[in-house]
Amino acid sequence: MDLSLVIPVFNEEESLRELSEWIGKVCTGASLTYEIIFVDDGSSDASWSKIKELAAQSKFIRGIRFRRNYGKAAALNTGFAESSGDVIITMDSDLQDSPDEIPELVSMIRKEGYDLVSGWKKKRYDPFIKRSTSKIYNSTARLTSGIKLHDFNCGLKAYRSEVVKSIEVFGDMHRYIPMLAKEAGFKKIGEKVVEHRPRKYGVTKYGLDRFMKGYLDLLTIRFITRFGKNPMHLFGSLGTLMFLIGFVMAGYLGIRKLIFVHNNLRVPLVTESPYFYIALTVMIIGSFLFLTGFLGELVNRNSTERNSYLIRDKVNL
């Protein structure tokens, strides 16, 4: 099969028929064999009934329903596992992503050799606050990841099948799939300017809380990708550094007291100096950080994925 479209759904009953018909028209015109996988993320409206109706009318449409709302990342991860196309495309179900972009996205994956192509909504029909926070968020993501994308959170993305089968999307990490893909060894990541359409039905599902969640997720994904396999590299280094700083401060107080004794001067108590308590606190924190790294290494050693490496090619095996 040429193409699998994974589409998370949350209370979008009005748009599903129009979206599926539009996708079918575009894929048929481009001579692409395809499947549409709608993942109902615990909708409270008639979305699931509409998906069942569409699936009964078309062999190209499949549906998955969650018992409750787990979030977009869970919907994508489940859809990825069920997909069978050579190219996987994700898009939102609210008709703000245009299916007309599909042929060119497929071409970029197949003919230009990209592992992942992310959409860039250069002209957006979102509220001012959402556009402003998105710019800050994307700038930070570019700076920390080294991936030159303008819109990490664009729902319209295309993947080589191998990419989505090699990563796990969880929590709210759907925003950072390009970073997960890069960490997994898929480094040819491209970008395409895509049309962003005004919302036709329903209301947006995102509030201001996603701005804070985005930054917390960025810290999480940065830690996982850089130190997930070797937590001691972070905690051990910080712990050792803090312990040495505390030790030097304590050593200074000890040497200072010996100098006073040697010169027959009144010897101040070490505990009278605030530096003693600061040094003690820093050394204790350093020890705890080192132990945290050590425990992290023990947990990692017992993980079933400690030696999971992605093999790209084999020959004569």
pLDDT in tens, 121-135: 888 776 666 777 778
| Structure tokens, 181 | 């893909």
pLDDT at residue 305, as a whole number: 56
The mean pLDDT of 40-58, rounded to a whole number, is 93
* Residue 227 contacts residue 289 (beta carbons within 8 Å): no
Is 238 within 8 Å of 232 (Cβ atoms)?
no
Residues 154 and 142: beta-carbon distance below 8 Å: no
Reply yes or no on whether the pLDDT at 171 is more than 80. no
Euclidean distance between CA atoms 88 and 65, whole angstroms? 20
Q: Is the pLDDT score of 226 beyond 80? A: no
Q: Over 70: is that where the pLDDT of 275 sits?
A: yes
Percent over 90 (pLDDT), the chain: 48
What number is the average pLDDT over the span 151-156?
A: 88
* Confidence (pLDDT) at 273: 83
Q: How far apart, in whole angstroms, are the C-alpha atoms of residue 243 and residue 247?
A: 6
Parse the chain into domains and list their residue ranges.
3-227, 231-301
The closest alpha carbon to 299, from 230, 220, 217, belongs to 230
Structure-model confidence comparison of residues 102 and 296, the more confident one: 102
Least confident of 41-45, 77-81, 203-207: 203-207
pLDDT band at 242 (very low <50, low <70, confident <90, very high): very high
Please give the residue that has the higher pLDDT: either 168 or 79: 79
pLDDT at 168 over 70: yes
pTM (two decimals): 0.74
Quick one: fold of 3-227?
Spore Coat Polysaccharide Biosynthesis Protein SpsA; Chain A (3.90.550)
Residue 138 in contact with residue 128, Cβ under 8 Å? no
Q: How far is CA 266 from CA 46, 124, 256, 261, in A?
A: 84, 74, 12, 8
